[in-house]
Structure 1
């Protein structure tokens, strides 16, 4: 079974959803037969390549409600064993990070890509790292098991840029407009950072039903469990 997860490093629900899906996968008897691949998506593709504090960025984007949004995610994170430190977090354009994830998948494999994805999310949400900085990304790549010099050379080039942008266009073309979105076997999509029990049901149903859309999860795409692209 192949699961493609469309997500953005700047999306806190992608961080929560990743943890919940991994917990479901750990409880799935056929987990060793599941290939998980992370696909790129940008919530703010026009974000400048200038780092700025998360607080300032979110206040400008969402206004006074941003503090309540962060507080809810901090609470959810604690329940999942995840740390959010929005006071330290730095926002930047995420295209470089997506390119590095593309490199990890194509030069190493899905497991290495997953390890890098986790390292990037932790660095961004808990450690105040600038995931739009090339040197920082190369260091994080090394911590995730990739070759640092090779990662640095890749980031200094334009390799993978066209391919990543094409994948983002493809995502929008198939209807992905909020993340995380989990696509099972290229047929069934589940949107949002659903509970682990929901993900487990999807895994079980997709494994058993080759010609039917899993009814319950598809109808239960949560409204606040995903990061959406603002209209306009």
Structure 2
């Protein structure tokens, strides 16, 4: 069974959704038969490499609220994320364009370390205040998660995987995805948002049952079983 997840590395709900999905998957009876992949989604494709102003002012301007209200929102998000194993430090966040981070994740997918690199980028941005668009930073974070530093540097120095990122984004548009995280199970079931683990587990169970319907076989010896009204006790 395939689970495809569209997300962005500067999306707090995407980080929360990742850990919630992992909790659901750990409880799924067929977890060893699930293939998980992450796909590119840019929340702000027009963002410069490094954005000016802190994240509180950005949120306040975007939603027409005061800075104090924005700070309160981030405190709420921090508390909620902590329940799912994250240590968000919004005061340290250094916003920037995420296109190159997504290209790095495509390399990571080919090298079999995409999950580890995704986790490292989330932690780098939300906890450590790493500049998410800086190439040297991306190379270092990628290497810490299992990528070859020289190969990562070569990828970021050219336009490799740019087409793959754009293809992911076109697929998101085709699905009608407007917000992330967004989970697609077996190209049949879509789940929007960082849903609780129980809800995600229910989707996994439903998709598995749909793909593996029970086949009842009756041996040649006949059907020797009790049914309602057919057996006396």
TM range (shorter): 0.7 to 0.9
What CA distance in whole angstroms lies between the structure 2 residues aligned with 1:104 and 1:7?
Answer: 15
What CA distance in whole angstroms lies between the structure 2 residues aligned with 1:84 and 1:68?
Answer: 14
> Does the CA contact (< 8 Å) of 2:93 and 2:125 recur in 1?
yes
What CA distance in whole angstroms lies between the structure 2 residues aligned with 1:133 and 1:118?
Answer: 17
| 2:37 alignment partner, SS class | strand
Unaligned runs of 5+ in 2: 214-233
What CA distance in whole angstroms lies between the structure 2 residues aligned with 1:211 and 1:54?
Answer: 46
| 1:72 alignment partner, SS class | helix
What CA distance in whole angstroms lies between the structure 2 residues aligned with 1:30 and 1:122?
Answer: 28
> Does the CA contact (< 8 Å) of 2:135 and 2:153 recur in 1?
yes
What CA distance in whole angstroms lies between the structure 2 residues aligned with 1:169 and 1:183?
Answer: 15
| 1:39 alignment partner, SS class | strand
Residues 1:121 and 2:125 are matched in the alignment: no
Please name the residue that 1:83 is paired with: 87
CA shift for structure 1 position 58: 2.4
Please name the residue that 1:20 is paired with: 20
Deviates most, 9-18 or 168-177: 168-177
CA shift for structure 1 position 165: 1.5
> Does the CA contact (< 8 Å) of 1:134 and 1:152 recur in 2?
yes
What CA distance in whole angstroms lies between the structure 2 residues aligned with 1:201 and 1:20?
Answer: 13
| 2:5 alignment partner, SS class | strand
Of 74, 79, 89, 2:78 maps to 74
Deviates most, 49-58 or 14-23: 49-58
Unaligned runs of 5+ in 1: 213-232
Deviates most, 50-59 or 77-86: 50-59
The 5 A counterparts of 1:48-197 are 48-52=48-52, 53-62=54-63, 63-64=65-66, 65-106=69-110, 108-109=111-112, 112-197=113-198
CA shift for structure 1 position 166: 2.3
| 1:36 alignment partner, SS class | strand
What CA distance in whole angstroms lies between the structure 2 residues aligned with 1:184 and 1:125?
Answer: 27
CA shift for structure 1 position 211: 9.4
What CA distance in whole angstroms lies between the structure 1 residues aligned with 2:188 and 2:74?
Answer: 33
Please name the residue that 1:226 is paired with: none
What CA distance in whole angstroms lies between the structure 2 residues aligned with 1:32 and 1:151?
Answer: 29
CA shift for structure 1 position 69: 2.3
> Does the CA contact (< 8 Å) of 1:51 and 1:132 recur in 2?
no
Please name the residue that 2:5 is paired with: 5
> Does the CA contact (< 8 Å) of 1:44 and 1:93 recur in 2?
yes
Q: TM-score, normalised by structure 1?
A: 0.86
Larger radius of gyration: 2
What CA distance in whole angstroms lies between the structure 2 residues aligned with 1:138 and 1:77?
Answer: 26
| 2:3 alignment partner, SS class | strand
